Structure 1
């Protein structure tokens, strides 16, 4: 009879392990469907429409990540459930306020913003920008509430339905000729599945809604999140989104669409795999920091090395055959995106390998280094392509500058993580191992 090792048996029986497995199953299925739909979408929508989607999602992403002033991150903290519910309702109220402000900005300056970013049509869809900001902001808040409630089944179903909702909306409306609205609408439809955090058996609607005084008290009590976490979240998001906005502003929506597809091809699979690795690494590294054994640096190097090996073959394939591969999979209009993939293969390989270990800086109380690195990346990735555009360089030079900026940024991030881990290991050895 086959005997299961006790350690593996414990993992199989662990509620946390089962929860993670259920969530990841939903994520892989949902995001896998979205990725598989890209060859269909590129034949239903043209590069300019993808460019509008790229700018739309970048603007929405940067606003929504700070729409609750990072209060959603504090939801798991309060020991009392009602205190946590007060905090969640406060965060939703702030998301609503941010949505109203976003809508007002669109009314006043929507046309100017669209022209500045190279997509004048953005002004026609600013109503959807505001609506999607609300949906995505609420998604972050309600997701964190479901995590607190350990509603792992609801999270798994949400992740699956998020992919199904996005894919069916974008493909269905594209087939019906409702373009480019189908692309834009799909972004928010999937996230609306997070409403399960309101409606489920443990949802917020079953908790008393706080009054203004209670909300104010919750905001004051957790003020460190708005003051410290919000700037960091915005800078981190901007480091990824600003380069796409720069390309759109200087080179037009079609080029932004081509680059946006390239980024999605890289980031989709990397996000699914990277999240799983990040969860494992976070659990292991935080445990070794709490109970040090002098192996944090070795684990960090080993994790990055293994991820490099996992991502090497796809990166080499795209670096050598990008234009041909994109033409076959996405259609002949997208071969230029394959050339961008050749330029970005190395930086995205480094991002895939290093990102999952970057949380180490936070666990080791190196928040200042983490924020400093995010600011530096924003300057490099936004400033490099912008400088190329101002000097009149062709778009491929701007993309090459973006690639070089990412390479330098993630090499530096790796060095920072390894140095921090070595310092923690050295501190453990200096104090001596426990008897």
Structure 2
């Protein structure tokens, strides 16, 4: 990724991400004392439900925003996705009214039934956030993405600490997520933002959905399975080992997985913008570009992974308090899995860009079976939670290695087709 535009884009996004996510990380020692492991257990379940419903809300049409050569057509696709988000949020609220208590009890967090209105609002915020992000990636508004990442961190931390001090537990943790996502949509009104594009007519929205129907019909379910592969194991942990076990694992996911996801997202956004430009334009080089990105990410993440393995239990106990030492042990076990996620996730959009949704769907389903199935088997066999986390880590490593092989195969096929074209 030696191209100046790509490096500049990554540096700008990372600057905003580092500032915003730095605030979030600095806040966790405070949050760990304002909220107990049970509160974090509710947050784990809430986040998992919102993530799965939120990613389905867009019908994956936001991924198709990168494809059209014409900006007006791309904007129409984005608006179609936003309509789907609004409808999904309303349906989520209605489901909560009818089945909220039963769902919350099944997931082991009865208090969630009283907070279901937050689920619907956060689904709306997350869906809008996803669509706006892809539009900014398309137009390469990396500075706007950096500002967005900063505002997201500021909003989340301010809400969670303020409400925690006021004794609003566990709702303060949940509200903070929605506030952060809401502030993260600000780039939509920046120069070149989606809201500055012409509004499409209903017939154009229908035509856009018809043209990119493989995204709702195939890719949306693939993305749901992708998210489920990360979130369902956490739900199984909550159901099997209780709110405290889920809360300990939840802190690990946020303290370690949060920075991994944010930095990976920054690289992912720039990689996606540059890779899609290569596919739309003449020439080849997608496969070397993809391989180089993964190798450099592996080299970058290797040192933090080793430090996690060596130091995380003692560091977690010192920074967050003795009751959180178990989170450090989980971080120690998951270190290699997070390294694999860090290196491979940024290139995962390759299959979508090349319209290989079927391959992505198969991979997503396989990972869900490995991760959730492994944790579920540990539950059935009566294994301790530490064993379940180790099985989860191994499943993720195998899954991300497979995704790299599939992405490289697709990229090489695209390069060969470009070379053969007249």
TM range (shorter): 0.7 to 0.9
Alignment correspondent of 1:353? 343
Is 1:408 the counterpart of 2:398? The answer is yes
1:171 aligns with 2:161: yes
Q: How many residues align?
A: 420
1:46-125 counterparts in 2 under 5 A? 46-78=36-68, 81-125=71-115
Residue 333 of structure 2: aligned partner: 343
1:255–1:228 distance in 2 versus 1, CA, 3 Å: same
What secondary structure sits across from 1:34 in the alignment? helix
- For residues 382 and 83 of structure 1, do their structure 2 counterparts lie closer, same or farther at Cα, with a shift above 3 Å needed? same
Q: 1:169 to 1:256 in 2, by over 3 A?
A: same
Mapped to 2, the partners of 1:280 and 1:93 lie a distance apart of 26
SS at match of 2:56: coil
- Cα distance 1:72–1:279, how it changes in 2: closer, same or farther (>3 A)? closer
Whether 1:291 aligns to 2:275 is: no
Which runs of no fewer than 5 residues in structure 1 stay unpaired? 1-7
CA-to-partner distance for each residue in 1:146-185, whole Å, 9 max, x for gaps? 4455544433322211110011111111122221111000
Q: Tell me if structure 2 keeps the 8 A contact 1:236–1:374.
A: yes
- Tell whether 2:260 aligns with 1:260: no
The offset of 1:124, in angstroms, is: 0.8
Aligned residues of 1:51 and 1:253 also touching (Cα < 8 A):
yes
Shift of 1:255: 0.8
How far does residue 93 in structure 1 lie from its aligned partner after superposition?
Answer: 2.1
Judged with a 3 Å threshold, the aligned counterparts in structure 2 of structure 1 residues 75 and 350 are, in CA distance, closer, same or farther, namely closer
Greater CA drift, 127-136 or 413-422:
413-422
What is the TM-score with the length of structure 2 in the denominator?
0.87
User: What is the rounded CA distance, in whole Å, between the counterparts of 1:164 and 1:28 in structure 2?
Assistant: 12
- Tell me the equivalent position of 1:5: none
* Closer/same/farther in 2, CA of residues 284 and 269 from structure 1, 3 Å limit: same
Are 1:190 and 2:190 an aligned pair? no
State the match for 2:240 in structure 1: 250
CA distance in 2, matches of 1:111, 1:165: 29
* SS state at 1:179 partner: coil
Distance 1:18 1:322 in 2: 32
Of structures 1 and 2, the larger Rg is shown by 1
Q: Please point out which of 178, 192, 212 is paired with 1:222.
A: 212
| 2:258 aligned counterpart, secondary structure | helix
